[in-house]
Chain A
Amino acid sequence: MKTNLNKEIERRRSSIKPVSDRIQRLREESIKAKERISSERARLITDFYKTKAPKNVSYPVLRAMAFKYLMEKCSLPLEEGQLIVGIRGTGPKEVPTYPEICVHALEDLETLATRKNMPFCVDDQVREIYEREIIPFWRGQAMRDIIFENMTQEWKDAYEAGIWTEFMEQRAPGHTSGGGWVFKTGVLDIKKRIKEKTKQLSPSDPGYFEKLEELKAMDIACDAILIYARRYSEKLKDLAANERNFQRRQELLEMAKICEKVPAYAPDGFWEALQHYWFIHVGITYETNPWDSFTPGRLDQHLYSFYSRDIMSGALTRERVKELLQAFWIKFNNQPSVPKVKITAEESFTYNDFSKINVGGLKTDGSDAVNDLSYLILEVLSEMRTLQPNTAALISDKNPDTFLLKALEALSPGFGEPPLFNYDRIIVKMLRQGKTLEDARESGVSGCVETGALGKEAYILTGYLNLPKILEITLNSGIDPRTGKRIGLETQVPQNFDELWNSFVKQLRYFIDVKMKGNDIIEALYAKYLPVPFMSLWIQDCVENAKDYNSGGARYNTQYIQFVGLGTVTDSLASMKCNVFDKKLFTCEEVLKALREDFQGYEHMRQIFLNKAPKYGNDDDYADDIAKKLVDEIVRIVEGYGPSPVRKASRRSYFLPTTVHVYFGSVTGATCDGRKAGMPVSEGISPVQGVDRKGVAAVFNSVCKCDWDKTGGALLNQKLTPDLVQDSTNLVKLGKLIRTFFRMGGHHVQFNVVSSELLREAQKRPTDFQDLMVRVAGYSDYFVSLPKGLQEEIIARTEQGEL
């Protein structure tokens, strides 16, 4: 057994292949860098608001001027040997804070510095400036404070009980991606358009003043990024003048030239395209701390024309292209997520900031989009194996099997990327939401498994909803047993399953209603107080509409709630139906008592709940029908709401957890599927950890009974043992399995190819496994850095495979 383990470790290590020494160095520097808080942005933004902000300007203009100030004053780090410049922060993994959105208290800084999982180094200088300047100025003024001031007591009660989380309490809305248009447009083009639009404005238009201010702000934001690029160009020229190495000097001069060209003008070459995008990325992630940072989306599509032109003209070799892509890759890895504390940390307990690069799918004209770059990007993914960026393989029926297999090969050496998406059903989802066919074909995925019309849509996530907890509240007639507080509706003890179901749906409706009302308020607050004029430049049609991204300027606007714990709540309902109402083994009262006692003294009952009731994930209609019914009901409730007041966003549902299933489990008592109090609930739409005993085909069958086309996406995790993907024949079979799963309507699947044996080893010798990455839920993370609860949970996820 030991030799097999070492063989596996060896195989994993040997697949990392930086294409050159400098990439090797940059990669190592990136991996070894420790995440730390940089106080520069906090200092600059506070300085601006305190001393430079003019009185009586509109919020959009104020924010644009603040952004410009940052771009004028921020430091300009340059990683040794890098080919692409710009970083949000003062150096690799030196993460800024955003006190205007969420001001950390000194205790928060202590937590960040000392917690075991996801710590950030906090040096004395940071503490000192926070204490002296940042906290006194921003306390009570940050968006977070304003949000909580405006939430109702019902909302706060539910939030504190762990019924839901709220994304926007520590980070600005984002949840979007760049589209092809970004790569075809220069800032000067946008400025020209802004000027035209401003001329066209008429004072008789009721929105005249808002539009005027937004356009003004957008124009300032344009200037801001041009300043940033120009500053880098100057710096590069300086460095070149002092550079002894001839080759590097030429390189620096070329980079300086590129920085004069982009992002002012649209890029013409491959290198320019990467730098152009990167400036935009840095700008967006400096302006605010949007969720999921930003992403270039369908990169194999957007870069292809630059790539083929440069290769054909001889300007670049394939090897140089790879080097540039690998350098680009490292830029993402150097920007970990912003520091989160408390519940926001729990719901997304990772350094991963979810920038996602898509490959595959179809072109706008409906033909197979897979090209050389799709394969090249998959190679870069395998060879770099960094935490970020994430990837997504969009698999359409029209995409060749070679592409699918190449994606699976990238998976093989125990690395959880790329996840696989059913592209053809993404189109169905988008069309159902009212997108045009062309926009649907240009869609992709970002974040975990969120689908959107990349480059044209604001698909904002508002928080996770704890389904098992809502069932717990139902069984306790509206009281949270953890606190004894009434937070839900008063319902009777159910006499039969229909009554239980109806009471559960009633509570669900109630909580969704409170959440929706809260969402509307938060949307209005961000629209008013925190517009994002720079990000708005890059999402169509904000400039055309002269409307900010946060006010609904994008072509499509959607608002999502993410539902968590489908497996757990389905199994719990199935268990009640089977054991209490059908077989009458226990009464409702007995079960409630047992749950309140966390099954102490009720082990026999718990085992029956664990082993003798039908479970979701085993292709058993008894349980699966409940899941199907629940998904339908959730969609019905959520989509029953009219569009949001400010953005006019349609309301939709997602089923994904990131890491919140651990947090939600910690606040939920024992459940009647046999789960003990405090244990994680099920993640995504995966069956409860360990109960899928009929194999992966059965899981797929179960999952496909629900109608995912009515949702925006659903996350499914499956673990495979290495032997299933080591052999090329088996790999082909796995490919066929996935094609069938997609034919049946599955949205997404991500495979974790490790053995639990390996994971236990990693727990014992974490220093030997620092590069071991596993998929958590929609993203990968370093296993040894995960909180113990999440580590155990991943181990428990069923190992598929055979003896």
Chain B
Amino acid sequence: MRALVFNIQRFAIHDGPGIRTTVFLKGCPLSCLWCHNPEGISPNVELMWAKYKCIHCGSCIASCSNQALSFDGDLLILRKNQCTLCGKCAQYCPTDALRNVGQLMEPEDLLKELKKDIMYFDQSDGGVTFSGGEPLQQSEFLLEVLPKIKSQGVHVTIDTSGYVNQEDLEEILPFVDLFLYDLKVIDEAKHIKYTGVSNSVIKDNLKFLIEKKKDVVIRIPVIPSVNDSQQDVEDLCNFLASLSVKLKIDLLPYHNVSEKYSALWRKYEMDATSDINRAVKYVEDELNSRGFQVKIGG
């Protein structure tokens, strides 16, 4: 059983306790408009182009047997309907401006990579975090690797959207020490509008994890004009207060990542222009006033 991985970040210090390695699995059931890892949304291998690295040598165009690539001025154009994702163009690109995002990995290969930093995990009470995309979409793979990671005494964190089958969640439960659980928008209709899916499963799974007494930290991306209105924040506070446990909260300020979308030849549909610092402060203050422990960043 192989997994599609699009990044492995070593010395990650914002994805759980201690020094960690974060594995980003490709593919997500949501398509949030502000997504900071848009290259993690599609469950397939994709092409990504970094304009600043391009030397316009044309090796990619020459290597494509489907004529899917061409230059319009100094912009590289990809005709996705002609692209078979064979990956040859990225192989021939001398500067890695064009690269394949997503690599299939065997469990053994991933474990080998993770083992490289085991001394750092030991020393700092760190460990491995699975993120993405939605890592639990590849839960069969996780079921193969997580027990092996745990047998080495390493701490496991899962960073999830919560939009998963509860059965899949239940199966990996014994191998997870900490869940970083995303909450984006509480209002159901708004949630569908901005992420493409309903949030009832997400809310249910959260309650499930609490019931099972798992360690959970809530992650809330603060997106101005999406979830920072008085009503949104009120809804959030009420929902969190309704849970049987008072959970810790990480607020993640929004960043404009439009370049990443252009690099994927996707349209960036986010237009959050208002003051992010003010929005974050507002949410933080409201949560604090209701007795929640809040951290900015993560």
Contact = CB atoms under 8 A, between A and B. Distances in A.
Interface of A: 603-605, 607-608, 610-612, 619, 694-698, 701, 724, 730, 733, 736-737, 739-740, 743-744, 800, 802-803
Contacts of B14: 802
A77 to B, nearest CB: 50
Given A605-B94, A697-B120, 15 more contacts: A604-B94, A612-B94, A695-B9, A698-B10, A701-B116, A701-B117, A730-B13, A733-B13, A736-B126, A737-B124, A740-B19, A740-B122, A802-B12, A802-B13, A802-B14
A694 B10 contact: yes
B239 interface: no
16 contacts: A607-B57, A611-B95, A611-B96, A612-B96, A696-B11, A697-B11, A698-B10, A698-B116, A701-B116, A730-B13, A736-B18, A736-B123, A739-B123, A740-B19, A740-B122, A802-B12
Q: Which label, helix, strand, loop or mixed, suits the secondary structure of the B interface?
A: loop
B227 to A, nearest CB: 21
B121 to A, nearest CB: 9
A481 to B, nearest CB: 25
Given A694-B10, A695-B9, A740-B120, A733 B18 contact: yes
Interface string B1-34: 0000000011111100011000000000000000
Interface in B189-206: none
B116 A740 contact: no
A733 to B, nearest CB: 5
Nearest to A612: B94
Interface in B225-273: 255
Interface of B: 9-14, 18-19, 55, 57, 59, 94-96, 116-117, 119-120, 122-124, 126, 255
A604 B57 contact: yes
B94 A800 contact: no
Contacts of A743: 119, 123
Contacts of B19: 697, 733, 736-737, 740
B268 to A, nearest CB: 17
B95 A610 contact: yes
B94 to A, nearest CB: 4
B229 to A, nearest CB: 26
Nearest to A803: B255
Contacts of B95: 607, 610-611
Contacts, number: 69
A529 to B, nearest CB: 52
A697 B124 CA distance: 13
A730 B124 CA distance: 11
B94 A736 contact: no
A611 B98 CA distance: 12
Nearest to A730: B13
Given A604-B59, A610-B95, A740 B13 contact: no
A604 B94 CA distance: 6
A736 B17 CA distance: 12
A619 B126 CA distance: 19
B123 A697 contact: no
A605 B124 CA distance: 42
B11 A603 contact: no
Task: List 10 tightest A-B contacts by C-beta distance, closest first.
Answer: A736-B124, A607-B94, A697-B11, A695-B11, A740-B123, A607-B95, A695-B10, A608-B94, A611-B96, A697-B10
A712 B119 CA distance: 25
B110 to A, nearest CB: 15
A618 to B, nearest CB: 10
A21 B5 CA distance: 60
Nearest to B9: A695
Contacts of A694: 10
A733 B120 CA distance: 10
A238 B282 CA distance: 68
B50 to A, nearest CB: 11
Contacts of A603: 55, 57
Most central of B12, B19, B120, B122 by chain A CB within 10 Å = B120
B21 to A, nearest CB: 8
Contacts of B12: 802
A701 B19 CA distance: 14
B119 to A, nearest CB: 5
A611 B116 CA distance: 23
Given A604-B94, A612-B94, A740-B119, A733 B9 contact: no
A802 B120 CA distance: 17
Contacts of A612: 94, 96
A743 B19 CA distance: 16
Contacts of B59: 604
A724 B126 CA distance: 16
A739 B123 CA distance: 8
Interface centre among B9, B13, B124 (most CB of A within 10 A): B13
Nearest to A3: B277
Given A604-B94, A694-B10, A744 B119 contact: yes
Interface centre among A695, A697, A724 (most CB of B within 10 A): A697
Contacts of A800: 11
Interface-central residue, B9, B18, B94, B255, by most chain A CB under 10 Å: B94
B186 to A, nearest CB: 27
A776 to B, nearest CB: 24
Nearest to A739: B123
Given A619-B116, A695-B11, A730-B13, A740 B124 contact: yes
Contacts of B57: 603-604, 607
Contacts of B117: 697, 701
B94 A611 contact: yes
Contacts of A737: 11, 19, 120, 123-124
A736 B10 contact: no
Contacts of A740: 19, 119-120, 122-124
B143 to A, nearest CB: 27
Contacts of B126: 733, 736
B207 to A, nearest CB: 29
Contacts of A697: 10-11, 19, 117, 120
B251 to A, nearest CB: 15
A335 B117 CA distance: 45
A697 B120 CA distance: 8
Nearest to B257: A803
Nearest to B277: A3
A611 B96 CA distance: 7
A698 B255 CA distance: 27
Given A612-B94, A694-B10, A733 B124 contact: yes
A796 to B, nearest CB: 15
A612 B59 CA distance: 14
A607 B93 CA distance: 9
Nearest to B20: A733
A384 B267 CA distance: 53
A744 B18 CA distance: 18
A699 to B, nearest CB: 9
B136 to A, nearest CB: 23
A763 B124 CA distance: 38
Which of A603, A619, A733, A743 has the most CB atoms of chain B within a 10 A radius of its CB? A733
Nearest to B22: A802
